[in-house]
């Protein structure tokens, strides 16, 4: 129940990747036969990933992760356009791959606007318009949030960006394979996705770059990936990503069934007293449910669920020395103590109604037990 963290690699993806480790192992930059074979595999893969996004093959750059794609998009645009302007607009609920990149650029002389969201976690396109200045060089707003699953009005923001001629990036890491993606109807110039969220391998990402959008490379070297991202290509990873992208397109209709399981999960869990759904009731990812339980901490819930063999996640970024409430939950207006009582359950292909029933049947006892022990209980 933690598919938004990562997924098992699909057996069909593993099968597609296997020959590219020891048999078809050539360096795609080598001119001899096995090199050319690897090059062909990459170019076929590029087409398949482009098809998932409604993009052209030449607009796809392979990277090492969703994080790298976000970094490349934001730093790449920022440094390329430094002479034109220094202002970047993003939202306050972005993944850290975007948020920390913008924070870093803030230390390098760029001005960053972090747009607020409403209590359901949605950015208002009018706020984007109001934030624009003559110095704005980039807008970056995520497609769907990884914690609370809210889907942003990307098309509307895309129209504003296009009208003003400002490059628009979206982090679609959580929407690939869950919502139909089309870069033209979204109106984006840059879009990040990651293979391991769509039953592909870890350590491979894609940045879609619209033709005519220019970036400063962030890795310099042999000039791979049209000189935008030097590094010998991860051929098995890219081939696996492409197979996962093909499967994701085929399986898109199945997301309706996953949404049905999610609705049944939400209905069952909200029977618990003083429990709430975080995020928007309908504008949310088909696989995402994020709850808040008054008087308890998400970490204790996780540990108790783990003891029952259920993998889940909490809104809190927790380390052994600090307990920081999630920036997303704070941004939707939760008090820090409420932000600590959150639980994210994200469904995927392997989940069944039995899994949902199991969670719904054991969660009330766990919540009651923790509430009895909690100093926060009234």
- Shortest Å distance, C-beta 55 to ligand PLP: 19
Per CB under 6 A, 177 contacts ligand PLP: no
The yes-or-no answer on residue 318 being catalytic is yes
Among 26, 59, 61, 66, binds ligand PLP (CB under 6 A): 66
Is the alpha carbon torsion for 133, 138, 143, 146 positive or negative?
Answer: negative
Does 233 sit near ligand PLP (CB under 6 A)?
no
Question: Interface with ligand PLP includes 174 (CB under 6 A)?
Answer: yes
CB of 143 to ligand PLP, least distance (A): 8
Distance, CA of 284 to chain centre: 13
Residue nearer to ligand PLP on the CB measure, 148 or 235: 148
The string of DSSP letters for 341-368 reads TEEEEE--TT--HHHHHHHHHHHHHHHH
The distance of closest approach from Cβ of residue 345 to ligand PLP in the complex, given in angstroms and rounded to an integer, is 15
- Answer for the pair 72, 104: CB distance below 8 angstroms, yes or no: no
Q: Which residue is nearest to ligand PLP (CB)?
A: 66
Which of 7, 41, 99, 173 contacts ligand PLP by CB under 6 A? 173
Strand partners, 208: 60, 191
Least separation in angstroms between residue 374's CB and ligand PLP is 29
Cα gap 243→238, rounded to integer Å: 9
Residues binding ligand PLP: number (CB under 6 A): 14
Single residue of 65, 113, 206, 316 touching ligand PLP by CB under 6 A: 65
Contact 217, 228 (CB under 8 A): yes
Concatenate the DSSP letters of all residues of 167-236 into one string. -EEEE-TTTTTTS---HHHHT-SEEEEEGGGTTS-SS-EEEEE-TT-----SB-SS-TTTTTB-S---HH
**Sole window of 18-26, 114-122, 166-174, 248-256 interacting with ligand PLP (rule: CB under 6 A):** 166-174
Task: Give the separation between CA 96 and CA 98, rounded to whole angstroms.
Answer: 5
Catalytic residue among 318, 330, 349, 376: 318
Q: Which chain residues interact with ligand PLP by CB under 6 A?
A: 65-67, 70, 95, 97, 142, 146, 171, 173-174, 194, 196, 205
Which residues are catalytic, by number?
318
């Amino acid at each position: 129940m933690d598919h938004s963290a990562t997924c098992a690699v699909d057996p069909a993806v593993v099968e597609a990747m296997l020959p590219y480790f020891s048999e078809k192992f050539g360096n795609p930059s080598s001119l001899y036969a096995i090199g050319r074979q690897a090059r062909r595999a990459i170019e076929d893969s590029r087409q398949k990933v482009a098809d998932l996004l409604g993009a052209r093959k030449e607009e796809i750059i392979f990277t090492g992760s969703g994080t790298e794609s976000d970094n490349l998009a934001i730093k790449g645009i920022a440094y390329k356009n430094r002479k034109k302007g220094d202002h970047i607009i993003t939202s306050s609920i972005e993944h850290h791959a975007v948020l920390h990149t913008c924070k870093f650029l803030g230390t390098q002389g760029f001005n960053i606007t972090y747009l607020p969201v409403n209590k359901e976690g949605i950015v208002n396109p009018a706020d984007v318009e109001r934030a624009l200045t003559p110095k704005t060089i980039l807008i970056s707003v995520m497609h769907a949030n990884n914690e609370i699953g809210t889907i942003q009005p990307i098309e509307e923001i895309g129209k504003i960006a296009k009208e003003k001629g400002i490059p628009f990036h979206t982090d679609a890491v959580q929407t690939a394979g869950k919502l139909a993606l089309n870069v033209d109807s979204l109106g984006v110039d840059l879009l990040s996705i990651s293979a391991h969220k769509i039953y592909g391998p870890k350590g491979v990402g894609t940045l879609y770059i619209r033709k005519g959008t220019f970036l400063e490379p962030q890795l310099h070297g042999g000039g791979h990936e049209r000189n935008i991202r030097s590094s010998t290509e991860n051929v098995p990873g890219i081939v696996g990503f492409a197979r996962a992208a093909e499967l994701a397109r085929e399986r898109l209709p199945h997301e309706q069934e996953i949404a049905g399981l999610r609705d049944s999960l939400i209905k069952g869990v909200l029977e618990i007293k003083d429990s709430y759904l975080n995020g928007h009731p309908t504008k949310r990812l088909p696989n995402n449910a994020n709850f808040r339980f008054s008087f308890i901490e998400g970490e204790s819930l996780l540990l108790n669920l783990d003891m029952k063999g259920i993998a889940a996640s909490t809104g809190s970024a927790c380390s052994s020395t600090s307990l920081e409430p999630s920036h997303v939950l704070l941004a939707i207006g939760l008090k820090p103590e409420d932000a600590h009582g959150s639980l994210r359950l994200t469904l995927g292909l392997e989940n069944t109604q039995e899994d949902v029933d199991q969670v719904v049947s054991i969660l009330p006892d766990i919540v009651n037990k923790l509430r009895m022990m909690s100093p926060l209980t009234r």
